[in-house]
Amino acid sequence: MKFFADTADLNDIRELAAMGLLDGVTTNPSLVAKSGGDFKQTIAEICKIVDGPVSAEVVAMDVDGMLAEGRHLAKIASNVTIKVPMTWDGLKACRALTSEGTMVNVTLCFNANQALLAAKAGATFISPFIGRLDDIGLDGMDLIEEIREIYDNYDFETQILAASIRTVNHVKQSALAGADVATVPPATLKALVKHPLTDKGLEAFAADWAKTGQKIL
């Protein structure tokens, strides 16, 4: 499974990219605003750090506005992926942009029918929002599994990008359900390394080593 960082924080992106952990980045206007940077400049900087897809979201709600914004953002770098909403106009924009050779991420997907439409419209990525479904008492993983089955039934090339990930278990479950990508906040991605038994083992090793009175350097 690929890892995308769900952030616009350049320091986090640089750190994760240097470790070879990043396959791409997803952003939105809220994340860029939180980082305090200029939207287009931030996208350009991220694209210099990361070779993989970098999602930049349009803010227009109508198809003409989405296309104008999407085409403008796509000029920033060759790896910019235009993020459009899962709406009728968003699907129209998706079809047009993908026909022009631009990668498109259809976001705010909450059911399998929406994912089916996005694939038919030629989406590069579909972003089902796991955490937000969990918030209303549904199981977001059920949606990942349904989309996986539908896409496999018809050999759709659209990649399932598990989004709205809140926990390390969401990452594991997404991988088990067959998601192609998990877009993860940096803090959650870093938490994947943690386990209490790892910490306990290190403490024991350190204590035993201290008793020997030796040094490696």
Give the burial class of 127: count Cβ atoms within 10 A of its Cβ; 0-12 exposed, 13-18 middle, 19 or more buried: buried
Amino acid at 3: F
Q: Which residues pair with 162 in a beta bridge?
A: 182
190 is catalytic: no
Backbone angles phi, psi at 91, to 5 degrees: -70, -40
Gyration radius of the chain's alpha carbons:
20
Classified as helix, coil or strand, 62 is: coil
Cα–Cα distance for residue pair 177/18, rounded to 1 Å: 28
Catalytic position from the list 83, 190, 200, 215? 83
- Return the active site residues: 83
